[in-house]
Amino acid sequence: MGKSEVPFIEVKNLKVHYTSEGRKIHAVNQVSFSLQKGETLGLVGETGAGKTTIAKSILRILPEPPARIEDGEIFLEGTDLLKLAEDEMRKIRGRKIAMIFQDPMTALNPVMRVGKQIAEGIALHEKVSAREAEEKAKKMLEMVGIPGSRYRDYPHQFSGGMKQRVVIAMALSCSPDLLLADEPTTALDVTIQAQVLDIIKNLQKEFKTSMIMITHDLGIVAEVCDNVAVIYAGQVVEYGSREEIFDNPLHPYTIGLFGSLPDINSDVERLSPIMGMPPDPANLPGGCAFSPRCPYADETCKNTDVKLDAIDGTHSCRCLHWRRTAQMKAETS
């Protein structure tokens, strides 16, 4: 899926597992993808599919133990982050790669003034005086729509949406090259979701930041992403540009995701949820991980290790029967 030049970030064969109560939980299995400068990649999938683990692996902030990166490489502009010394890595965190967390309620230190929490990163990476860091932090606050006078307030004095703005300001404070946004709107009220998303989009444009947007919300993907990787049971099951995925989903899981999206154009068709439950990550089924839930699965699916198959352009799919699916689609339309 690569273009000719070196991608801005490239994840190759990433494999991560957790150990919990003696059981090995395979959270990420051989995930690969890449991203060009300025682009946005959407990681889509159910809770527990391993999206957050991928993001945290890139920043190397997984709790080790119980988590362990078993295998793989993560190149940022050609350097393998996984091989960097911890203090080298620290210079990258916050400065080159920053992250917005899912739950703004818990992502802020409750006993530290919010301004200080923003200024802390600035002072660390930009080698400026405390005063300058404070000025910049105030500017960042204003940029996300919070008056700079609230620099000295504590997180509990903010509402959820405001907190997420603070988190965003914090993440963008050192103009990172890559922003990892982990479900930045999930914990927010619907009305606020749009505002926050707008802020992210605008700032991304302003700072020309690349972004990996983690979400289970296809609406957000449609709105912000250039490319999409659909994750299931720690694997990329389908990858492609936004158009490719939205116009021509080929993996039964992706199709299922779209099927469970309410169609505002037709009020007749009911939601068709994906049957069954996500697999137990400690005990993944053999063959295609999705096979137990797949309406099209046959015996071969359960026995064969399925490879990610290139389709055309950037589009690829991890399904033995994608051709059949494509055919069926062509027939129905």
Partner 1 sequence: MWKYIVKRLLWMIPVLLGIAIVIFTIMYFCPGDPAASILGNSATPAAIEEKRIEMGLNRPYMVRLLDYLNQVFLHFDLGTSYFQNQSVMSGILYRLPYTFMIAIICMLLQILIGTPLGITAAVHQNGIADRICMVIALAGVSIPGFWLAMMLVLLFAVRLGWLPPYGVGGLQYFILPCIANAFAGIASQARQTRSSMLEVIRSDYIVTARAKGLSEREILYKHALPNALIPIITVVGNGMGMMLGGTVVIESVFSIPGIGMYTTSAINNRDYPVVMGGVLFLGALFSLIMLLVDVIYAYVDPRIKAQYEGQQKSWKRRKRANG
Partner 2 sequence: MANSVAVSKGAAIGRKKKEGQFSLVMKRLMKNKLAMAGLCITLLLFLLALLSPWIMPYAYDELNMIDRFATPSLKHLCGADEMGRDIFSRLLYGARWSLALGFLATIISTVIGMIIGSIVGYFGGTVDTVIMRLIDILQAIPGILLAIAISACLGSGFMNTIIALSIGGIPMTVRLLRGSIMGVRKMEYLEAAQTINCSIPRLIVKHILPNSISPIIVSVTMGIGNTILMAASLSYIGLGVQPPTPEWGAMLSAGRTYMRDYPHMVLFPGIAIALVVLSLNMLGDGLRDAMDPKLKK
Interface residue with partner 2 among 261, 282, 284, 326 (CB under 8 A) is: 261
Which of partner 2, partner 1, none binds 124 (CB below 5-8 Å, type-dependent)? partner 1
Which of partner 1, partner 2, none binds 304 (CB below 5-8 Å, type-dependent)? none
Region 146-175 residues binding partner 2, contact defined as CB under 8 A: none
Cα(213)–Cα(182) distance, rounded to whole angstroms? 6
Cα(278)–Cα(329) distance, rounded to whole angstroms? 25
Q: Give the number of residues written for the chain.
A: 333
Region 31-50 residues binding partner 2, contact defined as CB under 8 A: 45-48
**Interaction pattern, residues 54-83, with partner 2; x per rule: CB under 8 A:** ---------x--x-----------------
Which of partner 2, partner 1, none binds 107 (CB below 5-8 Å, type-dependent)? partner 1
Ranges assigned E (strand) in the chain:
9-20, 23-35, 40-44, 67-76, 79-80, 97-100, 178-182, 210-215, 227-232, 235-241, 309-312, 315-317
Which backbone phi and psi does 58 adopt, to 5 degrees?
Answer: -60, -40
278 lies in the binding site for partner 2 (CB under 8 A): yes
Cα(232)–Cα(238) distance, rounded to whole angstroms? 9
CA neighbor of 167 nearest in space, from 224, 225, 106: 106
Q: Which is nearer to partner 1, 28 or 107 (CB)?
A: 107
> Residue 321 carries which side chain, given as an amino acid letter?
H
Distance of CA 219 to the CA centre of its chain: 14
Which of partner 2, partner 1, none binds 149 (CB below 5-8 Å, type-dependent)? partner 1
Which residues are near partner 1 by CB under 8 A? 56, 59, 61, 63, 87, 90-95, 98-99, 101, 103, 106-112, 120-121, 124-125, 147, 149-150, 153-154, 156-157, 167, 170-171
The H or E element that residue 122 is part of is: helix 114-126
Q: How far is the CB of 307 from partner 1 (least distance, A)?
A: 33
Question: Total residues at the site for partner 2 (CB under 8 A)?
Answer: 22
Cα(208)–Cα(191) distance, rounded to whole angstroms? 26
Q: Which is nearer to partner 2, 190 or 330 (CB)?
A: 190
Q: How far is the CB of 16 from partner 2 (least distance, A)?
A: 15
CA neighbor of 49 nearest in space, from 214, 250, 292: 214
Which of partner 2, partner 1, none binds 47 (CB below 5-8 Å, type-dependent)? partner 2
Q: How far is the CB of 102 from partner 2 (least distance, A)?
A: 13
Which backbone phi and psi does 280 adopt, to 5 degrees?
Answer: -70, 115
Segment contacting partner 2 by CB under 8 A, of 98-106, 216-224, 244-252, 283-291: 216-224
Cα(51)–Cα(236) distance, rounded to whole angstroms? 10
Burial status of residue 196 (CB atoms within 10 A of its CB: 0-12, 13-18, 19 or more)? buried
Note if the bond before 65 is cis, omega within 30 degrees: yes
| Count of Cβ atoms closer than 10 Å to residue 107 Cβ | 20
Q: Which is nearer to partner 1, 132 or 153 (CB)?
A: 153
219 lies in the binding site for partner 2 (CB under 8 A): yes
Which of partner 2, partner 1, none binds 125 (CB below 5-8 Å, type-dependent)? partner 1
260 lies in the binding site for partner 2 (CB under 8 A): yes
Q: Which is nearer to partner 1, 106 or 303 (CB)?
A: 106
Q: Which is nearer to partner 2, 78 or 273 (CB)?
A: 273
Q: How far is the CB of 278 from partner 2 (least distance, A)?
A: 6
Q: How far is CA 259 from CA 167, 222, 290, 317, in A?
A: 33, 15, 16, 18
Chain residues binding partner 2 by CB under 8 A are 20-22, 45-48, 63, 66, 216-219, 257, 260-262, 271, 273-274, 277-278
